[in-house]
Amino acid sequence: MAKALGTLKAEDFLALPLRRAEFLDGDPRDTAEEVEERLWDYLQAGVQEVWLVYPRARRVGVWTPGGMGRVLGKGGVLASPVLPGFSCPVAEVFPEG
């Protein structure tokens, strides 16, 4: 369970990743509200980019601190200012088969 922002200490921020990816595979415990709450917790805590990976739908949602989000399908390309030089077609994340 994520810490409430008021309980975070300086050392917690030093350990924060710049990017966070979550794979959502249809677990009934991952309600839309819980996923959204975790997404905003990460962003409010200083994570620079959050990826929500939807294997069944073969899509990846990408969110940044400004609240800007986009969802990429098989024609999209994952790229990130947090990972300079990284580029990967979404179709390669979810190979056919």
Span 65-94, pLDDT tens digits = 886 789 999 999 988 888 888 888 999 888
| 59: helix, strand or coil | strand
Higher pLDDT, 93 or 11: 93
Specify the number of domains making up the chain.
1
Which CATH number goes with the domain that contains 38? 3.90.1570.10
- Decide: residue 64, CB within 10 A, 0-12 exposed, 13-18 middle, 19+ buried: middle
| 93: helix, strand or coil | helix
19 pLDDT tier (thresholds 50, 70, 90): low
What integer is the mean pLDDT of 46-55? Answer: 86
Residue 10 has pLDDT above 60, yes or no: no
Domain that holds residue 54: 5-93
Angstrom distance (rounded) from CA 31 to CA 16? 24
Residue 61 has pLDDT above 60, yes or no: yes
How far is CA 27 from its chain centroid?
17
